[in-house]
Amino acid sequence: MFELIFFSVLNGLVFGMLLFMLSSGLTLIFGMMGVLNFAHAGFYMLGAYLAYTLSRYLGFWPALLVAPLLVGIIGALVERFGLRRVHRFGHVAELIFTFGVAIVIEEIVQLVWGRPAKAYEVPALLDFALFRFMQTSFPAYKAFMLLISVAIFVFLFAILTRTRAGLIIQASLTHPGMVAMLGHNVPRVFMVVFGIGSALAGLAGVIAGPVLGTFPGMAQVLGSIVFVVVVIGGLGSLTGAFVASLLIGIVQTFAVALDISVGSVLAAAGLPPLGTTGVLHELWQVTVAQVAPIMPYVLLVLILIIRPTGLFGTRET
Amino acid sequence: MSTPARATAPALAVPALARARWRRYAAWLAAVLVVAVLPHVVTAPAAVPVMNQMGIAIVFALSYNMLLGQGGMLSFGHAVYLGLGGFIAAHALNLAARDVLYLPVPLLPLVGGLGGLFFGALFGSFSTRRAGTVFAMISLGVGELMAASSLILNAFFGGEEGITANRTKAPLLLGLEFTTDRQVYYLIAFWALATAALMYGFSRTPAGRMANAVRDNPERAEFVGYSAQRVRFVSFCASGFFAGIAGGLFAINYEILTAENMGLTASGAVLLMTYIGGIGYFMGPIIGAVVFTFLQSMLSDYTGMWLLYLGILFLATVLYVPAGLAGLLMMHAPAWRAGRFRRLLGPYALTALFGLVAAVGVIGLLEMVHFMAAASAARSTKRLFWMTVHVRTLWPWLAFAALLVAGAAGARRAAPAAAAAFNEASRPAGLP
């Protein structure tokens, strides 16, 4: 039991920090433009695919640097020539625009790399078990993922709170008019933040690709979860995104590991089963592990009903 | 939309209104006639199935626009109501086939509609409290929730294979049989026209008008004394009902429903077609559904990347014509009424020609990239635009890139002239 809890917490941390790398960019972009970026998970996928191709020619380590950079540039271009144009048509048009970008990215990835999953592997240098604890071993690559995402977290935090550029970004989030009056180019700040957010998503893709798989559906698998994270955490709140990332990461990992159903609990308590066929019976037999994929969405709907601003948010739209 | 009528002088108002009403009746009558003769005019073998698909898409897109266009609610999970209505209709059809209940096929969409209404009321009760991003997120959450549950509850959703039904086994009503696609076409046409008329009627009821008011300014609507939530809820339920009818038609036409019909992709498709058609006009979703379905069935014959082309078309719509195709048409009404439409044709044709050249360039490049990625290494030529292209040489790449650059540059040069011509032609008569 202790073994299960230990590894679930550890894996939950790895997954949660990965989610944070995605959700931090998404929530910053939202705070800035008031728009949820549907294409964010697309940039994550683009990062993984670019890193796959680059690592075949340059090796994994250069790809770790170059792929996020490329994704960041693509993101900045999308902001400069797409979103900025649509901005004057209102938030709904912007949201719909990013939705279209997400579709186009997914289709372009299929066009260039094809439909089958790519064999994007863990680099040989990190392909060993870091330690063994009781019966389970912990791969070094997961520790590396954790290291990278914690480093990014510290880096981001330091930049936003300790540097002049960070202060300008923070000020642009809340008082764009005032910042512009002081002589800063606010549209350019927006473009840079959008680029950095996309680059972070790309980096998440680079390091998650070998573990979670590099395939055309990878954006959809994680995209909705990241949305759940930023909405639960509170739109625009970095702290909220951090807490919600870890929460969802750990809840998901624990749920997958549990093989308990209502029926088994009833049986353990010595109660007779309720019906032997039909929908009710089926509901009773569903295990927690099977429900794991829908848990984030249940959480999302519940949070939005009870507290539409999310856990740490201050505004709704 | 209704402002010009109010602007006319009171003495003129009555005949003008009467004329407008007659024009509207004439439009509906024309729609009935067109729908009735269409399968006899278009005789291509694949035409009737595509038109059936269009009919279902029209009902679905119109129901979606009750939310997005008329109610200001951006939903990312509307396929849930089509899907659930469809599943319920499919189960009802199976029960009818086993004589458990008397339910002829023509009434089946109503069962789907009631299913959609039930789930619309259920999910709408908490999701319509707010509009904007919160509503969009809840709809996304509900959509993902249902898509994920469909893989768990096998008895209702049928797992991976879905639920199949057989429309020929159900009892007959007035001896109407549904064995061929054409018979189904007339059933779908009847329901599409009836629901379109109902939805148009709904948009003109006080409930529909209040939905517009709540969309534009919920705070003021609340001050007038309406609960914004209740107004949204009524729209949401009605929208779920009509989406469920589309689901019932889907069950009749395809005789199978799978979890895919409820997924995010299906919800995204209805957003795409509605937005391309234009969310500001009642006709918009109809145009969008017809164009989208046509392109989808056409393009999927020629290329595996039809969704990419539709996505690009969608992005272009959002960027350049946010009012959609219907908005583009309606924009030219003043010029048409002033009799100056012919002056536009020249500048428009020039811009369109350059746009076409650029489009050929883009399509050529994309198709060649696709070829490089997908075709086996032994093949080196591809049929493209009625030519044999040697993809593995440099020249076609340069040629298509040149077409793209020349077309884009030309369109950029020609567009201001077209815009100037449009402004000139649209200025009110009598003004210098």
Q: Supply the ipTM of this predicted assembly.
A: 0.80
Reduced to 3 states, what is the DSSP secondary structure of residue A287? strand
Cβ within 8 Å, pair A224-B144: yes
Cα A182 to the chain's mean position, in Å?
34
Q: How many CB atoms lie within 10 A of CB A81?
A: 10
User: What angle in degrees, to the nearest 10, is found between the helix axes of B228-254 and B47-71?
Assistant: 170
Q: How far is B12 from chain A (nearest CA, A)?
A: 36
Comparing A262 with B232, which gets the higher pLDDT? B232
Residue A56 predicted with pLDDT over 80: yes
Enumerate the residues of chain A whose CB falls inside 8 A of the CB of residue B307: 103, 107
**Do residues B115 and B244 touch, judged by C-beta distance below 8 A?**
yes
Tell me whether strands B381-384 and B256-257 are parallel, antiparallel or unpaired.
unpaired
Cβ within 8 Å, pair A97-B136: no
Cβ within 8 Å, pair A103-B369: no
Enumerate the residues of chain A whose CB falls inside 8 A of the CB of residue B69: none
Enumerate the residues of chain A whose CB falls inside 8 A of the CB of residue B370: 111
Cβ within 8 Å, pair B264-A224: yes
Q: What is the pLDDT of residues A234-258, one digit of tens each?
A: 877 888 888 899 988 888 888 777 7
Token digits for B367?
């198709």
Q: b or e along B22-48 (b: 16 or more beta carbons within 10 Å of the residue's beta carbon)?
A: eeeeeeeeebeeebeeebeeeeeeebb
Cβ within 8 Å, pair A112-B369: yes
Average pLDDT of the segment spanning A57-72 = 88
pLDDT, residue B9, reads 47
* Closest chain B residue to A303, measured at CA: B138
Q: Which of B53, B40, B56 is nearest to B300 (CA)?
A: B53
Measured distance CA(A38)–CA(A99) in Å, rounded:
5
Cβ within 8 Å, pair B373-A112: yes
Q: b or e along B299-324 (b: 16 or more beta carbons within 10 Å of the residue's beta carbon)?
A: beeeeebbbbbbbbbbbebbbeebbb
In the DSSP assignment, the letter for residue B225 is T
Enumerate the residues of chain B whose CB falls inside 8 A of the CB of residue A301: 126, 138, 141-142, 145
pLDDT, residue B6, reads 46
Reduced to 3 states, what is the DSSP secondary structure of residue B332? coil
Q: How many CA atoms lie within 13 A of A74 on its CB side?
A: 23
Which of B152, B268, B311 lies nearest to residue A286, judging by beta carbons?
Answer: B152
Q: How many CA atoms lie within 13 A of A55 on its CB side?
A: 24
Spell out which chain B residues touch chain A, with contact meaning CB-CB distance below 8 angstroms: 68, 72, 74, 126, 129-130, 132-134, 136-138, 140-142, 144-145, 148-149, 152-156, 264, 268, 271-272, 275, 305, 307-308, 311-312, 314-315, 318-319, 322, 366, 369-370, 373-374
pLDDT, residue A282, reads 63
Comparing A272 with A218, which gets the higher pLDDT? A218
Which of B130, B275, B319 lies nearest to residue A85, judging by beta carbons?
Answer: B319
* Closest chain A residue to B268, measured at CA: A99
Q: Flag residues of chain B having pLDDT under 70.
A: 1-14, 173, 175, 304, 375-378, 429-432
Cβ within 8 Å, pair B137-A86: no
Which of B140, B156, B305 lies nearest to residue A111, judging by beta carbons?
Answer: B305
Residue A187 predicted with pLDDT over 80: yes
Which of B148, B264, B366 lies nearest to residue A111, judging by beta carbons?
Answer: B366
Q: How far is A162 from chain B (nearest CA, A)?
A: 32
**Do residues B117 and B244 touch, judged by C-beta distance below 8 A?**
yes
How far is CA A259 from each of CA A56, A83, A114, A265, B155, rounded to the nearest angstrom?
40, 45, 36, 11, 21
Interface test with B, best of A80, A115, A286, A300 (most B CBs within 10 A): A300
Amino acid at A40: H
Give the residues across from A136 on adjacent strands: A133
Lowest mean pLDDT among A129-143, A264-278, B400-414: A264-278
Cβ within 8 Å, pair B155-A227: no
Interface test with A, best of B64, B144, B217, B309 (most A CBs within 10 A): B144
pLDDT, residue A275, reads 58
Cβ within 8 Å, pair A300-B138: yes
Q: How far is B52 from chain A (nearest CA, A)?
A: 26
Q: What is the mean pLDDT of chain A?
A: 82
pLDDT, residue B115, reads 92
Average pLDDT of the segment spanning A70-85 = 91
Q: Which of A81, A125, A95 is nearest to A29 (CA)?
A: A95
Measured distance CA(A36)–CA(B76) in Å, rounded:
13
Average pLDDT of the segment spanning A166-171 = 85
Sort A76 into a burial class: Cβ within 10 Å, 0-12 / 13-18 / 19+. Answer: buried
Measured distance CA(B27)–CA(B4) in Å, rounded:
19
Measured distance CA(A182)–CA(A167) in Å, rounded:
13
Give the residues across from B382 on adjacent strands: B389
pLDDT, residue A62, reads 86
Interface test with A, best of B152, B215, B321 (most A CBs within 10 A): B152
Q: In angstroms, how far is the first alpha carbon of chain A from the final one?
A: 43
Q: How far is A297 from chain B (nearest CA, A)?
A: 5
